[in-house]
Structure 1
Amino acid sequence: MSPPTTSRRPELRTAASAEIFARIITHGPISRIEIGRLTGLSPAKVTKTVNPLIRDGFVTVGEHAEHSSPGRPVYPLSVVSRSMLAIGVKVNADEIVAATVSIGNEVIASARRRLKQHDPETVTAAIVHCARQLIEKLGDDAERLVGIGVSVSGDIDSVGGVVRQSPLLGWSRVPLGERVSEQLGLPVLVENDVRALAKSEQWFGLGVEAESFAIVTIGAGIGCGIYVNRDVVTGAHGVVGEIGHLPLASPDAECVCGRRGCVEAVASSSAIRDAVRADHGDPALTLADAVRLAHAGDRSAVTAFDRAGTAIGAALAVTVNLVGPEVVVIAGEGVMEYDLYERRIREEFAAHAFGEAASCRLVVRRHTFIDWACGAAVAAFRDAIRPTPAGAAA
């Protein structure tokens, strides 16, 4: 199978042009006037950017005019949903989850592959296998692929495509992007998984309306993506929002990162399970068993979830005190047991959130691993509509 081309990337020569296209993607159907209002750009600039996008089939003009005010009719602009496609991949310790996603946020197909091991070679092969499955399903539409996004837990160099450190996978300095790109012949963008999820929220979720938000995920790890000043924060060194490694737990608790006292050391799914295992002297006890015991009132299980909730609540308060988001979304596979954390999370948050920061809304939302894969695809789309180097400084 010959690799698909990447000819479907639009020509966007300035940061302003990229912003205009992004507004059409996230807010469409939208008028040129409204784009100008949101971006602060002149009608001439908006028109100059939009016309080639219409010509090349990325944007369509509404057939029916909107007469929202006296004067000339307004024909709203929308992105052509399948004009650009990306494959998003979520890497877990035991599974690869992948999805083909359109620029209109439509999941076209998905694929999964279990992992018996999670060494770099096995994971790379699984990513390539899933991607090839999805590419084959696309047929001729594969020419619309702009790239592949891969989301991984940990410290990620997204520019170089390197997983610098992933305690969940036990990786250090793995050039994952290069390895996958060599086999598939497509651009590959590697991103921190929670940051990718925040990028998806920026484009198609909270970010459409909210001026700022944070998304905190609980489950195998504890992560945080932050959206302020009209963008997802990446940090000077590519590490940001690692609230799972704030030293807010007991110094006796050892984290998978090798440090002590991390939130993740008491609040991750494995930490809760291991605590209940130790108290019951049962190394075969599962997380589902721990949940069942907690619901039944078992003291050690209730204590383990309370300890986790206390650490997470304190971490939420730190996040809100430092960043001041409008809303915090609590997500991840751990929210399935949110009732076991909620009281302690909210108590600890209220105890440590300073002043009006305590009025920040805490919203619980379940995300599937397909949602995580969609976040990786959005990261690839965002990379694909960056300005070309010749106009990047404009």
Structure 2
Amino acid sequence: MNKITDTAATGQRPHAARTTLAVLKALRRDKRISRKDLPGLTGLSAGTITAVTSDLVARGLIVEQRAAGTGKGRPRTYLEIDAAGPVVVGARLSERGELQTAFVDLTGRELFTARTPIPVFPTLAQFAQRICDELDRAIVTSTIVPRTIAHVGLAVPALVDDRTGVVHQMLTVASDPVPLADMLAERLNLPVTVENNANCLVRGEHWFGCAQEHDDFTLFRVGYVLSSARYAGGMPRTGAHGFTPEIGHAKTAYGSEAKPCFCGALGCVSAYCSIAGLVMHPEEWHASRLPPLEVVDERFARLLDDAEQGHPEALDALKTAGEHLGRIVADHVNAADPGSIIILVPDERYRKLTMATFQDNLDALALPAFLRNTRVSFATTSKDWQWKGMAALALEKAYLGPARKPEPV
């Protein structure tokens, strides 16, 4: 059975977590509201609002501010997220091998950032140890007092059990699973969450970006690979083992003519519609032969330029990309009834050049009843999505309670 959240990882049961986050999201949207406003904004009862807000005040996550008196009667009391409260640390290991770290307050305001190259190591354990070293160094360099840090969230491009923080697989490093969250918690003596980059991105869009108004939606991202993550009932949804589904490795082509994918299989949708799938040659999928990402970016920009100028080969490649993207989105609509689907693309030209075949395949393959009730939209991936996603991961975990923190010695 799929789990929306994990009690051990958040400190709250799913229903309690949803009510807590519903209150905090209302406060983020409206900035300064009273307890009396919250039932109408969240659909929660007055009793539940009182219990949740009292807990959040006691934990130093929100504050009560009394309005200046303007006449008779008791001045109104407003609730606000406490910008002077705890700090959270969000970190992300990028596809370019760079550890990007952001320290933010509870409102999401950036306080300090750091970027550090992480070289490739022969084993995942060595890789994990270097991440521990660099995060420790970033905390020291930031001059932020460690006891004010409420939570550390780390996102990595890997197959991760987000309940336990165990990294099971990373493309460029062959190794046994590594308990990265435990390693970091022991090293930093702080609560730590580790999860997949896609799940981090979907949190960022839900808290800060284009999905703030959606509690039920799926986010597809066309990047170097095709990735996706999902929210249901206002909470991220992962699989039975804590994994974020790898939609990019679902098959949209079969047989010996299907394109090879870096995972070793044939016909993966990423091989047809992702950046790398469009511009990399099959022999380059091997980790030892991967071209620099700058080269991949240059090829992709040239492909879009050529398509805009009417070059048949480029137009055909993007037509095929739209076809396969439409197939996988239709399959998801039929299988998940997601409510809304947001597709993030790296360049607006990608959307324009793939839209016709995307829409044709979506219309042909999705069941009409599902499609009529699913809102499908496109957006361009924002340049600052990394820190938004990192901050959202750490903020959400801080709001919901401690996770993966070692016992005091």
* TM-score interval, normalised by the smaller of the two chains: 0.7 to 0.9
> Within 5 Å, which residues of 2 pair with 1:87-236?
87-95=89-97, 96-117=99-120, 119=122, 120=124, 123-124=127-128, 127-128=131-132, 130-167=134-171, 173-206=177-210, 208-236=212-240
The 3 A distance-change label for structure 1 pair 118 and 74 is farther
What is the CA RMSD across the aligned residues, in angstroms? 3.6
Quote the residue 2:78 is aligned against. Answer: 76
2: CA distance between counterparts of 1:238 and 1:354?
29
Q: Would you say 1:310 and 2:316 are equivalent positions?
A: no
2: CA distance between counterparts of 1:355 and 1:168?
41
CA deviation string 1:212-233 (max 9, x = no partner): 2111111122111111223221
Alpha-carbon offset, residue 335 of structure 1:
6.0
* TM-score for both structures, normalised by structure 2: 0.77
CA deviation string 1:30-73 (max 9, x = no partner): 33233334555543443344345435542122443899xxx986
Say whether the 8 Å CA contact 1:14–1:388 is kept in structure 2.
no
Quote the residue 1:264 is aligned against. Answer: 270
Quote the residue 1:384 is aligned against. Answer: 398
Residue of structure 1 aligned with 2:253, choices 244, 249, 252: 249
CA deviation string 1:206-252 (max 9, x = no partner): 55422421111111221111112232211222235422111103543
The 3 A distance-change label for structure 1 pair 171 and 255 is farther
Say whether the 8 Å CA contact 1:146–1:187 is kept in structure 2.
yes
Q: More displaced, 374-383 or 217-226?
A: 374-383
In structure 2, what residue type is equivalent to 1:25? L
Quote the residue 1:54 is aligned against. Answer: 57
Say whether the 8 Å CA contact 1:223–1:243 is kept in structure 2.
yes
The 3 A distance-change label for structure 1 pair 348 and 327 is same
Secondary structure of the structure 1 residue equivalent to 2:143 = helix
Say whether the 8 Å CA contact 1:313–1:348 is kept in structure 2.
yes
Say whether the 8 Å CA contact 2:219–2:342 is kept in structure 1.
yes
Say whether the 8 Å CA contact 1:66–1:75 is kept in structure 2.
no
In structure 1, what residue type is equivalent to 2:165? G
The 3 A distance-change label for structure 1 pair 66 and 216 is farther
Q: More displaced, 38-47 or 352-361?
A: 38-47
Say whether the 8 Å CA contact 2:273–2:325 is kept in structure 1.
yes
Say whether the 8 Å CA contact 2:345–2:379 is kept in structure 1.
no
Quote the residue 1:7 is aligned against. Answer: none
1: CA distance between counterparts of 2:233 and 2:300?
41
Quote the residue 2:376 is aligned against. Answer: 361
Say whether the 8 Å CA contact 1:150–1:190 is kept in structure 2.
yes
Quote the residue 1:3 is aligned against. Answer: none
Q: Would you say 1:350 and 2:363 are equivalent positions?
A: yes
Structure 1 unmatched runs, 5+? 1-10, 390-394
The 3 A distance-change label for structure 1 pair 210 and 73 is farther
Q: More displaced, 145-154 or 348-357?
A: 348-357
The 3 A distance-change label for structure 1 pair 118 and 337 is farther
Quote the residue 1:273 is aligned against. Answer: 279
The 3 A distance-change label for structure 1 pair 258 and 293 is closer
1: CA distance between counterparts of 2:11 and 2:76?
24
Alpha-carbon offset, residue 382 of structure 1:
2.8
Say whether the 8 Å CA contact 2:132–2:184 is kept in structure 1.
yes
Say whether the 8 Å CA contact 2:304–2:349 is kept in structure 1.
no
Quote the residue 2:287 is aligned against. Answer: none
Q: More displaced, 86-95 or 37-46?
A: 37-46
Quote the residue 2:342 is aligned against. Answer: 329
Alpha-carbon offset, residue 274 of structure 1:
1.9
Alpha-carbon offset, residue 191 of structure 1:
0.8
Quote the residue 1:292 is aligned against. Answer: 302
In structure 1, what residue type is equivalent to 2:360? E
2: CA distance between counterparts of 1:334 and 1:170?
33
The 3 A distance-change label for structure 1 pair 362 and 197 is same
CA deviation string 1:243-295 (max 9, x = no partner): 211110354322222222110122232221124999xxxx9974423431442
Alpha-carbon offset, residue 151 of structure 1:
1.2
Quote the residue 1:85 is aligned against. Answer: 87
Secondary structure of the structure 1 residue equivalent to 2:280 = helix
Secondary structure of the structure 2 residue equivalent to 1:235 = coil
2: CA distance between counterparts of 1:186 and 1:115?
22
Structure 2 unmatched runs, 5+? 1-9, 285-290, 404-409
1: CA distance between counterparts of 2:46 and 2:92?
40
Q: More displaced, 177-186 or 151-160?
A: 177-186
Q: Would you say 1:64 and 2:62 are equivalent positions?
A: no
Quote the residue 1:392 is aligned against. Answer: none
The 3 A distance-change label for structure 1 pair 48 and 248 is closer
Residue of structure 2 aligned with 1:36, choices 39, 44, 49: 39
Say whether the 8 Å CA contact 1:152–1:192 is kept in structure 2.
yes
